[in-house]
Amino acid sequence: MQGDAVSLNEKLGNFCRARGADLFGIADLVPVRDFILSQGPAMLGQFPRAVSMGIRLNDGIVDSHSPNEPRRHSLYWHHVYDVVTQSLDFLANDVTRWLIDRGFQAFPVPGSTPYDFDKLMGIFSHKLAAHLAGLGWIGKSCLLLTEPFGPRIRFVSVLTDAPLEPGSPLDRPCGKCRVCIDACPVKAFTGAEFNPAEGREVRFEVQKCSEYRREHPCGLCVSTCPKGKNPRDKPPGPGL
């Protein structure tokens, strides 16, 4: 790693932590450029790096949420999509300005990216960036599981040409665990382990989840996963 890259990574990591990031890492996007172009607009394909940042969810809210209450009354939904996602967008905006002020190009991808209702996916995968940055691995739930917080965290990404040193992807199987598969009220998971060579449909019938969540503030695959229970006992995550 070059000295300049080290100091840039460290300075940016410190800035992200001061602005509220619980996890921070750098993804190398070059090997996945074709996938990025297949998912979103061409301008996203020009950036070789993504700054991946996560903000953890509140345990009390995650543990007490019920998918049976109306979505408009759900504290869980408000916390995840209004509070944490909005905080991530402000964080990404600050990081974008930080990078541009230092002469680099930077583009903040919104925390809840504009959605393609045909493909049932966003224009850019924050989960992919976090995985490539070494912040976690993909579970049978298709969620990114992190060592300190399990899936109780949301991510945002800033795409950039800054010469940041990337992390290395992590892969850890769920093994015999089936907790999320059994907990899902619409049986959206097939039980298959993550395999980057296979499409999402091998693991996840996203249409089932999407239809259920139009009415129900479900996050049972987040709250029931044994990874991330009692996260306050866990050490700080990588990059911080």
Does 209 sit near ligand SF4 (CB under 6 A)? yes
Does 169 sit near ligand SF4 (CB under 6 A)? no
Give, as one character, the DSSP assignment of residue 23.
E
Does 135 sit near ligand SF4 (CB under 6 A)? no
Q: Residues 180, 203, 231, 238: which binds ligand SF4 (CB under 6 A)?
A: 180
Select from 3-11, 49-57, 101-109, 212-220 the region that touches ligand SF4 (CB under 6 A): 212-220
Q: Residues 54, 134, 169, 219: which binds ligand SF4 (CB under 6 A)?
A: 219
Does 29 sit near ligand SF4 (CB under 6 A)? no
Contact yes or no for 50/191 (Cβ under 8 A): no
Residue (of 39, 36, 53) closest to 99 by Cα position? 53
Beta-carbon contacts of residue 201 (< 8 Å; ≥ 6 apart): none
Q: Which is nearer to ligand SF4, 129 or 145 (CB)?
A: 145
Element of type H or E holding 26: strand 23-28
Query: Which residues make up the interface to ligand SF4 (CB under 6 A)?
Result: 139-141, 145, 174, 177-180, 183-186, 188, 209, 212-213, 218-221, 225-227
